[in-house]
Amino acid sequence: MARKPIDPVAFLSGLPLFRELDAATLARLAADTTRRPLKRGETLFRKGDAATGMFVVVYGGIRLVASSPARGRRLSGLVGPGASFGEPVMFLERPALVDAQASVDTLVLHVPKQALFDEIERSPKFARRMIAGLSRRIESLVRELDRQAIGSGTQRVIDYLLHHCPKSSGPVVVTLGATKAAIASQLALTPEHFSRILRDLGEAGLLSVEGRRIGVPSLPRLEAAARRRRAADAG
């Protein structure tokens, strides 16, 4: 079934970064915004490509994959609907640090850097919003690094699942946006260790696993398990 066309003005106005902008500002940004549909596995940009602006995921998902001679290719992040990426290297005016690939059929909006730079010059309020968005991303990264430094493998897996679970009082399903091996590398685990943790959580009745679909029968029980694990790790 074909998806409805996306109105960039309506979509951008619903995002926290753009939510309180006036109609004229939104219209200027939307006029410069372009749509980029991607098939599953298609590359949006590669490491070393010039930074041309910021991207916002409308639907689908983007895998950010880092690579180095020492560690090879490693998943460094997943970007879902409503989230943006590409801003840090855009402001630094440096080449991309990662590859960006569609994890499923995806639509992203591209807002060119010159349009954003022009609005920053026009509006201190917009500039503050951009700074706040980048600050939240840095804070999230620091928290993730802290969890990886002090938390056990089980704690990291539970935290990852809780972060991606929709809020609900009933059972929920999390669909992994990448292979289990890729998620394991993001969590600094071996694929075997990651699979063993999922199996142990499943045997404890906290999860059910079917391929990339992770069922969570009870969010409160999983959250309680996370609290117990944090207390055990701290002790």
User: pLDDT, tens digit, for every residue of 2-50?
Assistant: 566 778 888 888 887 787 788 888 899 999 999 999 999 999 999 999 9
Domains of the chain plus CATH, in order, are 8-148 (2.60.120.10), 151-234 (1.10.10.10)
The residue with tokens 């020492």 is: 70
User: Which single residue is written with the structure tokens 């493998």?
Assistant: 153
76 SS3 class: strand
Confidence of residue 172 (pLDDT cuts 50, 70, 90): confident
Using DSSP bridges, classify how beta strands 43-45 and 172-175 pair: parallel, antiparallel or unpaired. unpaired
Cβ atoms 205, 198 nearer than 8 A? no
Q: What is the pLDDT of residues 39-77, one digit of tens each?
A: 999 999 999 999 999 999 999 989 998 887 776 788 888
The pLDDT mean for the chain works out to 85
Token digits for 22? 């006036």
Q: What pLDDT is recorded for position 99? A: 94
User: Mean pLDDT across the stretch 166-178?
Assistant: 79
The pLDDT value recorded for residue 178 is: 79
Residue 235 predicted with pLDDT over 60: no
Q: Is the predicted pLDDT of residue 233 greater than 70, yes or no?
A: no
Q: What is the pLDDT of residues 106-136, one digit of tens each?
A: 999 999 999 999 999 988 888 888 888 788 8
Query: CA–CA separation, 110 vs 32, rounded Å?
Result: 9
What CA–CA distance (Å, rounded) separates 87 from 77? 14
